[in-house]
Amino acid sequence: MRALWGLAGIAAVIGCSIVAAVGLENGEKRSGFDFMTPETQALQADDTSNPGMLWVLQGEQLWQQPEDSANIACAGCHGDAAQTMRGVAARYPAFDEATRRPIDLAGRINSCRGVKQQAEPMAPDSDELLALTTYVAHQSRGMPITPAADSRLEPFRDKGRRLFQSRIGQLDLSCAACHDDNWGRRLGGSVIPQAHPNGYPLYRLEWQGVGSLQRRLRNCMIGVRAEPFAFGAPEFVDLELYLMERARGLPMETPAVRP
C-alpha cells in the first residue's frame, strides 16, 4: 500500500509540474535545513543533541590513530584538522592527478590511506570512512561552498549536469523533475527540497545513522525504479561535482540532520 501511495504521489507531482518553481531560476538557493520541522532544525543546531556528532568524535579518534606498516596517522602529515582541513570539504570534489578525473572527499581519504599510510582502503559507506569524512567536512561547517576553479573539471561537471537532467528508471523521472521544477511541494507528506549536498555526510532519522551523498543518490535511483550505480562509481562523483556547483554559496552544515 505504501508503494502504491508513493507512485500516486509521484504521479501527482508530475501532473502539476507545468508550474515550475522559479526560485532556482532566479538564483534562490535554500538548504534542506529550511524545509525541516522546527524540532529537527533544533536537533541539528545543538551539538550536544545532534547524533551526527558521534561520527565526528569517532573521526577525530581515527585522525590521530597511526595505521598499519607505515605507522602514520592523518595528523602525522596534516596536523590539527581544525586548521589544515578548514575549507577543504567546501571545494571538493577536486581534480586528482593520479586518475586524471575528479575525486570526492571520501575517495581522497582512501587514496591517502593507500599511498601515505600503506593501509587497506575503507569500505564504501563504512562507519570508519563516514566518521573520517564527517570529521574532515565538519571543519568547514559554516563556510560557503566554493567549487574549485579548475578548467579540467568542466567536462566532468557537464556530465553531472546531464545526469541530473536525464530521465531514468521505470518512472521516467530526472533529478531536476523533482528538485528544480517541484521543490517546496509535498510528496507523500514530505516537502521536496532543492537537493543541495551541503550537509553530507549527514544523519538521517530514516537511517538512524550517518550516510553519504552516494547512499542518498542510490536511494533516489531505486525510488524511480532505476538500476543504481555502484558505490564509488565515477557517475556519482560527476553528479556531486555538478551539485556542489549548483549549491555554490550555501554554507556547509556537516553533520546535518534530515528526516
Which residues are the active-site residues? 220
Strands (DSSP E) along the chain, which ranges? 94-96, 101-103, 186-187, 190-191, 202-204, 209-211, 257-258
Which amino acid is located at 158 in the chain?
D
For residues 144 and 251, the answer to whether their CB atoms sit within 8 Å is: yes
In order of 31, 58, 70, 75, 76, the CA distances from 65 in angstroms are 34, 11, 12, 8, 9
CA 179 to chain centre: 15
**Beta strands 202-204; 209-211: pairing state:** antiparallel
Residue 53 buriedness (CB in 10 A; 0-12 / 13-18 / 19+): middle
